């Protein structure tokens, strides 16, 4: 498509807030396509909305992309740097007769719009200024009347036709298109123009973007044609909706749609990418998990779906703070990824929670690794390591009230048995899951009680929780000293 057949795609966010799920997904598709084809991804910041664009937002978007592992070959470029080029393109369109100056005021247009609405007709600019003579134009300009520049849409039968890689042939009749504004009365070009001009300058070969741009694409096709440029390949991707089928947005949904939120809540970046890519794209073998290279290998525009998909966020669901599938994919990676790769994430979590001991990266490294490995299969986010896993890394951990009652207080004798267990364990030479099990089962037999009572009581006392890995492994992981200490303190729980 490009002049040299070079594949060039772009991700052009407008920096008016954080990077959200939808934007990230668009970036991912573009990135994958570039990776897949050996092409280049260009990051272009569309900051022409001076009112809303912020430096902070630009940084947030860049950080978000980096965190996700999305790399780009060029940019960030800034749209505002090319304003002159956009104006120049408009002048060319004016000279070539593809555009004209329109002196209608906003008030006049508003009035006509209202009137059309009242008559239940749809309003299209009526072309009042379309055929002004050069004398009339000169006169109005001499009067200092402000004007916008409108694109002169061909009249008569026929229409714009282009082929979208996802949606197929799209046709829009000329009569359904009005002479749209391309330059404001203050001289600033509009998105519809700037965006096309930038894509031309950046030699974009494939425009992969949200389906929300599909309806405006015919206008851009017209601009390309009027400028004498070759069309890029368009590929519109389905939108991501909320459970009420509303387009997700920063304003309406807040943090659950922010990439940053997933980072904070303990998502692995690749798990998020894996989840997001599946929203609107799939392989014919319906695979769910992809390594980076597998994904790049499997990705294709042909696999993009046409129907919008729902991001199943659940407001106020105590069990799932976001789409259950996203969580399950994250959990899958947490329990199956190479342990070495998971460790840095856990380290970051522990540091953030103030639980990190430098020795975990030194002397205690083997212990740290095996402990993480022991508990990871039941965690869904990396936050869980510092939260649910606190008892393994700290001595101050909460004991769940219900668990305390059910597994300890209910059996009054545990007030004596658990300290007794502490003494038995204290005397063990080599403190391993096997020796610990032997000791505890032996104790249960001596006391003539079910081992489960001792086991569940010990788990509650040592971890504060009713659920967890096999107790003997837990005790071995927590270590003799701390286990003995926690078991000895059990009587205090009865106070």
Partner RNA sequence: GGUCCCAUCGUCUAGUGGUCUAGGAUAUCGGCCUCUCACGCCGAAGACACGGGUUCGAGUCCCGUUGGGACUGCCA
Binders of RNA among residues 400 to 429 (CB under 7 A) are: none
Contacts 24+ apart (CB under 8 A), 473-478: 473/374, 473/433, 474/374, 475/425, 475/431, 475/433, 475/436, 476/431, 476/432, 476/433, 476/436, 477/367, 477/370, 477/371, 477/374, 477/392, 478/391, 478/392
Query: Contact, 151 vs 99, CB < 8 A?
Result: yes
String of contacts with RNA for each residue 249-268, x by CB under 7 A: --------------------
∠ CA 318-322-326 to the nearest 5 degrees? 130
In three-state secondary structure terms, 387 is helix
- Parallel, antiparallel, or unpaired for β 74-78 and 99-102? unpaired
- The CA-atom distances, in angstroms, between 377 and each of 116, 388, 434 are 63, 12, 21
Using the contact rule CB under 7 A, the part of the chain among 23-31, 70-78, 183-191, 389-397 near RNA is 183-191
What residues numbered 201-220 form the site for RNA, per CB under 7 A? Answer: 211-216
H or E, element range at 394: none
Return the residues of window 8-37 that contact RNA according to CB under 7 A.
14
Residue whose C-alpha is closest to residue 283's, from 305, 257, 256: 305
Stretch that binds RNA, among 24-32, 67-75, 361-369, 452-460 (CB under 7 A): 452-460
Write down the least CB distance from residue 362 to RNA, Å: 29
Give me the sign of the Cα torsion angle 334, 340, 341, 346.
positive
Annotated catalytic, 250? Answer: yes
- Considering only 377, 412, 434, 491, the residue that binds RNA (CB under 7 A) is 377
Window 335-374: contact mask with RNA (x via CB under 7 A): x---------------------------------------
Per-residue binder mask for RNA (CB under 7 A), 467-486, x = binder: xxxxxxx-------------
Residues 293-332, one symbol each (x = binds RNA by CB under 7 A, - = not), give ----------x-xxxxxx-x------x---xxx-xx--xx
Q: What angle do CA 427, 430, 431 make, to 5 degrees?
A: 80
Q: What is the smallest separation between the CB atom of 26 and RNA, expressed in angstroms? A: 12
Of residues 352 and 405, the one with the C-beta less far from RNA:
405
Interface map 36-65 toward RNA (x if CB under 7 A): ----------x-xx--x-------------
* Distance between CA atoms of residues 465 and 221, nearest Å: 62
**184 contributes a contact to RNA by CB under 7 A:** yes
Is residue 97 involved in binding RNA (CB under 7 A)? no
Compare residues 171 and 401 and give the one whose CB is closer to RNA. Answer: 171
395 to each of 226, 361, 392, how far by Cα in Å?
72, 19, 8
**Out of 140, 231, 409, 451, the residue judged to bind RNA by CB under 7 A:** 451
Task: Name the residue nearer to RNA (CB basis): 190 or 356.
Answer: 190
Binding of residue 105 to RNA (CB under 7 A): yes
Among 238, 266, 389, 464, binds RNA (CB under 7 A): 238
Q: Write the CA distances from 401 to 391, 460, 465, integer angstroms.
A: 15, 10, 9
* Contact between residue 48 and residue 13 where contact means Cβ atoms under 8 Å apart: no
- Residues of span 122-161 touching RNA by CB under 7 A: 122-123, 146, 148
Q: Quickly count: other Cβ atoms within 10 Å of residue 287's Cβ.
A: 12
State the catalytic residue, choosing from 247, 250, 325, 415.
250
Q: Which stretch binds RNA (CB under 7 A): 256-264, 359-367, 448-456, 485-493?
A: 448-456
Options 243, 344, 398, 442; binder of RNA; rule CB under 7 A: 243
Q: What is the dihedral of CA 239, 245, 248, 252, to 10 degrees?
A: 160
Catalytic positions, written as ranges: 250
């Amino acid at each position: 498509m490009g002049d040299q057949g070079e594949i060039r795609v772009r991700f052009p966010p407008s920096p008016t807030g954080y990077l959200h799920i939808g934007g990230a997904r668009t970036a991912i598709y573009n990135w994958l396509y570039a990776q897949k084809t050996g092409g280049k991804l260009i990051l272009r910041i569309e900051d022409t909305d001076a009112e809303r664009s912020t430096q902070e937002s630009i940084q947030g978007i860049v950080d978000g992309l980096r965190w996700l592992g999305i790399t780009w070959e060029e940019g960030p470029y800034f749209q505002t740097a090319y304003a002159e080029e956009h104006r120049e393109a408009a002048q060319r369109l004016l000279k070539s007769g593809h555009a004209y100056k329109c002196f209608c005021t906003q008030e006049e247009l508003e009035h006509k719009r209202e009137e059309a609405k009242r008559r239940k007709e749809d309003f299209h600019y009526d072309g009042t200024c379309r055929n002004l003579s050069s004398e009339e134009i000169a006169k109005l300009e001499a009067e200092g009347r402000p004007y916008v520049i409108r694109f002169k849409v061909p009249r008569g039968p026929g229409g714009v036709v282009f082929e979208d890689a996802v949606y197929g042939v799209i046709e829009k009749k000329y009569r359904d298109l009005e002479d749209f504004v391309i330059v404001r009365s203050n001289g600033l070009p509009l998105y519809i123009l700037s965006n096309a001009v930038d894509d031309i300058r950046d030699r974009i070969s494939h425009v992969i973007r949200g389906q929300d741009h599909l309806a405006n694409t015919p206008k851009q096709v017209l601009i390309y044609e009027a400028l004498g440029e070759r069309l890029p390949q368009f590929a519109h991707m389905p939108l991501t909706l909320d459970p009420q089928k509303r387009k997700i947005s920063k304003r309406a949904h807040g943090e659950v749609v922010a990439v940053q939120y997933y980072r904070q809540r303990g998502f692995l970046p690749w798990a998020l990418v894996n989840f997001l890519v599946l929203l609107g794209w799939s392989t014919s073998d319906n695979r769910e998990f992809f390594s980076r290279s597998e994904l790049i290998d499997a990705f294709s525009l042909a696999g993009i779906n046409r129907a919008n998909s729902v991001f199943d966020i659940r407001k106020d669901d105590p069990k799932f703070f976001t789409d259950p599938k996203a969580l399950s994919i994250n959990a899958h990676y947490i329990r199956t990824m190479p342990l070495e790769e998971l460790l840095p994430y856990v380290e970051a979590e522990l540091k953030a929670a103030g639980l990190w001991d430098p020795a975990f990266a030194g002397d205690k490294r083997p212990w740290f690794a095996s402990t993480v490995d022991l508990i990871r299969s039941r965690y869904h986010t990396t936050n869980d390591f510092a939260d649910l896993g606190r008892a393994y890394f700290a001595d101050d951990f909460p004991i769940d009230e219900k668990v305390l009652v059910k597994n300890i207080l209910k059996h009054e004798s545990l007030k004596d048995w658990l300290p007794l267990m502490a003494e038995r364990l204290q005397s063990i030479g080599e403190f391993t899951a096997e020796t610990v099990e032997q000791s505890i089962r032996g104790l249960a037999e001596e006391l003539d009680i079910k081992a489960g009572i001792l086991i569940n009581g010990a788990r509650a006392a040592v971890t504060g929780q009713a659920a967890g890995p096999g107790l003997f492994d837990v005790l071995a992981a927590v270590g003799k000293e701390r286990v003995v200490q926690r078991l000895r303190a059990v009587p205090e729980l009865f106070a």
